Amino acid sequence: MKISIASGKGGTGKTTIAVNMALSLDDAMLIDCDVEEPNCHLFFKEPMEKVRDVGIPVPEFDLDKCDRCGKCADFCQYNAIAVIKDKLLFFEELCHGCGGCKIICPLDVITEVEHFLGVIEKGGTDDMVLYHGLLNIGEPFGVPIIRTVKDLADDSKTVIFDSPPGTACPAVEAMNDSDYVILVTEPTPFGLHDLRLAVDVVIKIGTPFGVVVNRGGIGDDRVDRYCREEEIPLLATIPNDLDIARLYSKGIPIIKGMPEYKDVFAGIYDKIDEIIDGRGAY
C-alpha cells in the first residue's frame, strides 16, 4: 500500500508522523518527497549516500543554422524560449524538459543536453530503507526529482511518502498515485484553514484520505468538528507532549524514546487498511 503524508502548510509535524509510522510497521519503506528541504533523514544516525543524479533534457540551439522562425518559442508553454527580431533567448531555469521544441523545430537545429536538478540519496536503517530527493539550491522545479524518487517505491512493501507541504504542483505530484492520503494538521484556526485547502486538493485528486491531528490540546475542537461534519476519518490525535518535543529536538523518533506510541502509529495504518477494505468508518 502507498500512503502519502501531506499537509496544507509546513510545520504541522508531517515528517514526524511519516517517520514514526514507517518505523512502526514491519515491512515499510519511507520516501521523502519534500525535495526542497528533505528532513526525514535527521531522525536516522547513518548518513545518506548518493544513489544517482537527476536531470532533465534541455534544448541546445545551433544558432548558425536557426532562422529565428519562432516556432519553438510559440510552442513552449513555459516561456522558456523567446525570439525577438534576430535574437533567440533561452531561459534554462524555466525549461521543464518536455522535448517539444526539438520535435517542432522545422530545421532540426535543436539537440538536447542534460541539466542536472539534484540527487537521490539512500539511508534509513537495516530494516527500513529511506530514499529522498534533494533539489540543487536555486533550482525552481523539483517535480522531476519527486517523480524519480517515487519510482524507487517497492510495491511489495508499505510505502510512506512524506509529501512537500502546501497544495502546489510538488505536493500534488507526491500525493498522486497513492492509495491513501493522511493530512496532518494542528487543532488551531490556522490549521483548520490550511486543512480545508488541502482537503479540496485531495478531493480533486480523488484519493481517499483521513486526518491526523498533531499537538492535540493546543487549540480548540474546530478541526474535530469539521472532520465529523464532513465525514472525514480522524485517524489519530498525537498530544502536545513535552517529552515528544524533547525527542524531536534531539532528532529521536517518538517510538524510539516512547515505545508505547508504536501502537498509536501502527494503529493509523490499521484504520486505513480497514477503510480501504470497506470495514472502516467511512
Residue 117 within binding range of ligand SF4, rule CB under 6 A:
no
* Binding region for ligand SF4 (CB under 6 A) out of 103-111, 154-162, 191-199, 248-256: 103-111
Based on CB atoms, which residue is closest to ligand SF4, 113 or 218? 113
Based on CB atoms, which residue is closest to ligand SF4, 68 or 256? 68
Alpha helices in the chain (DSSP H): 14-24, 71-75, 100-104, 143-150, 169-175, 189-205, 222-230, 242-249, 254-257, 262-277
Choose which of 82, 98, 266, 276 interacts with ligand SF4 (CB under 6 A): 98
Per-residue buried b or exposed e for 199-221, using 16+ beta carbons within 10 Å of the residue's own CB: bebbeeeebebbbbbbbbeebee
Measure the CA–CA gap between 51 and 119, rounded to whole angstroms: 7
Choose which of 105, 172, 184, 202 interacts with ligand SF4 (CB under 6 A): 105
Instruction: Say which amino acid occupies 195.
Output: L
* Binding region for ligand SF4 (CB under 6 A) out of 8-16, 37-45, 57-65, 133-141: 57-65
Beta-strand (E) ranges in 47-206? 49-61, 81-84, 87-90, 110-124, 129-135, 158-162, 180-185
Based on CB atoms, which residue is closest to ligand SF4, 93 or 270? 93
Instruction: Say which amino acid occupies 192.
Output: L
End-to-end CA distance of the chain: 18
Residue 81 within binding range of ligand SF4, rule CB under 6 A:
yes
* Binding region for ligand SF4 (CB under 6 A) out of 104-112, 118-126, 148-156, 239-247: 104-112
Q: How far, in Å, are 34, 122, 152, 257 from residue 40 at the CA level?
A: 9, 11, 16, 17
Q: Is 44 helix (H, G, I), strand (E, B) or coil?
A: coil
Based on CB atoms, which residue is closest to ligand SF4, 60 or 179? 60
Strand partners, 226: none
Residue 70 within binding range of ligand SF4, rule CB under 6 A:
yes
Binders of ligand SF4 in range 248-277 (CB under 6 A): none
Residue 95 within binding range of ligand SF4, rule CB under 6 A:
yes
Residue 71 within binding range of ligand SF4, rule CB under 6 A:
yes
Choose which of 3, 28, 40, 110 interacts with ligand SF4 (CB under 6 A): 110
Q: Binders of ligand SF4: how many residues, by CB under 6 A?
A: 28
* Binding region for ligand SF4 (CB under 6 A) out of 6-14, 18-26, 73-81, 241-249: 73-81
- Which residue's C-alpha cell is 482537503? 199
Question: Interface residues with ligand SF4 (CB under 6 A)?
Answer: 58-59, 61, 66-72, 75-76, 78, 80-81, 83, 88, 95-101, 105, 107, 109-110
